[in-house]
C-alpha cells in the first residue's frame, strides 16, 4: 500500500508562474515531511521540510504547506525557473522512526 501519494505524475508550468506540487498521505503517525528534487541517474537533493507542528515553511522561492486534517501537503515554487524542471518527491517520516517513505514523484516541466 502506498502511504504517500503524489497523484499528478507530471505538471507543466510556464516560466515565471507558480508551480504547485501536491502530496497526500495516509499514515497519521508521520511527523515530518520533506521535499526532494531529483534528476535522472542522480540521487535526490533536499529542498525543504516541515514539521507536523507547523502548517507552513518558507525558504526562498520554495514554500511548503501542511494540512494535517486533510493529510495533505503541497510545495509551491514561485517564480518557476527552467532549472526547476526535474522530478519532485515528497517523503514522510514517522514519529520515532528514522525511515523515510517516498511518494511516487511528479515530473515538473517549466516551459520557457
Instruction: Give strand pairing partners of 90.
Output: 35
Pairing of strands 106-111, 10-14: parallel
Shorter beta-carbon distance to another protein: residue 14 or 46: 46
Assess 1 for contact with another protein (CB under 8 A): no
Minimum CB–partner distance for residue 44 and another protein (Å): 5
The two beta strands, 19-25 and 100-102, are unpaired
Q: Closer to another protein at the Cβ: 14 or 45?
A: 45
As a whole number of angstroms, the distance between CA 8 and CA 29 comes to 24
Instruction: Work out how close the CB of 39 gets to another protein at its nearest, in angstroms, rounded to a whole number.
Output: 10
C-alpha cell at 14: 510556464
Tell which one of 103, 106, 108, 110 touches another protein (CB under 8 A). Answer: 103
According to the binding rule CB under 8 A, does residue 46 interact with another protein? yes
The residue (of 18 and 29) whose beta carbon lies closer to another protein is: 29
Are the C-beta atoms of residues 48 and 68 closer than 8 Å to each other?
Answer: no
The number of beta carbons lying within 10 Å of the beta carbon of residue 50 is 20
Q: How many residues bind another protein (CB under 8 A)?
A: 21
Q: Residue numbers of the site for another protein (CB under 8 A)?
A: 2, 9, 32, 34, 36, 41-46, 49, 89, 98-105
Amino acid at each position: 500500500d502506498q502511504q504517500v501519494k503524489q497523484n499528478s505524475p507530471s505538471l507543466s508550468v510556464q516560466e515565471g508562474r507558480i508551480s504547485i506540487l501536491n502530496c497526500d498521505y495516509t499514515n497519521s503517525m508521520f511527523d515530518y515531511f520533506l521535499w526532494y528534487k531529483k534528476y535522472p541517474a542522480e540521487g535526490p537533493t533536499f529542498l525543504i521540510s516541515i514539521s507536523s507542528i507547523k502548517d507552513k515553511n518558507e525558504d526562498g522561492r520554495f514554500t511548503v504547506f501542511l494540512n494535517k486534517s486533510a493529510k495533505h501537503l503541497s510545495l509551491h515554487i514561485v517564480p518557476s525557473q527552467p532549472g526547476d524542471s526535474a522530478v519532485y518527491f515528497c517523503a514522510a517520516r514517522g514519529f520515532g522512526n528514522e525511515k523515510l517513505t517516498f511518494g511516487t514523484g511528479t515530473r515538473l516541466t517549466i516551459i520557457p
